[in-house]
Amino acid sequence: MSTALLKFDDLVCGYGDTMVLRGLSGAVGPGRVLGVLGRNGVGKTTLMRALTGFLPLREGAVTLGGRDLARALPHQRLALGMAYAPQEDVVFGDLSVQENLWLHLDDRDPDRYAACLALFPRLVERTSQRAGSLSGGERKLLSFTRTLGLRAALSILDEPTEGVQPENIERMVALVRARKAQGASFVIVEQNLEFLLAVADDLMAIDHGECLLKGEAAEFGREALEAHLMV
The domains located in the chain, with CATH, are 6-90+147-226 (3.40.50.300)
46-85, pLDDT tens digit by residue? Answer: 999 999 999 999 999 999 999 999 999 999 999 999 999 9
Q: Which pLDDT score, from 0 to 100, does residue 158 have?
A: 97
125: buried, middle or exposed (CB in 10 Å: 19+, 13-18, 0-12)? Answer: exposed
- Residue 98, judged by CB atoms within 10 A of its CB (0-12, 13-18, 19+), counts as middle
Residue-level pLDDT, tens digit, the chain, 231 residues: 458 999 999 999 999 889 999 999 999 999 999 999 998 889 999 999 999 999 999 999 999 999 999 999 999 999 999 999 999 888 999 999 999 999 888 888 889 999 999 999 999 999 999 999 999 999 999 999 999 999 999 999 999 999 999 999 999 999 999 999 999 999 999 999 999 999 999 999 999 999 999 999 988 888 878 877 764
**pLDDT tens-place string over residues 96-116:** 999 999 988 888 888 999 999
Q: Mean pLDDT of all residues in the chain? A: 93
Give the span between the Cα atoms of 198 and 229, in whole angstroms.
17
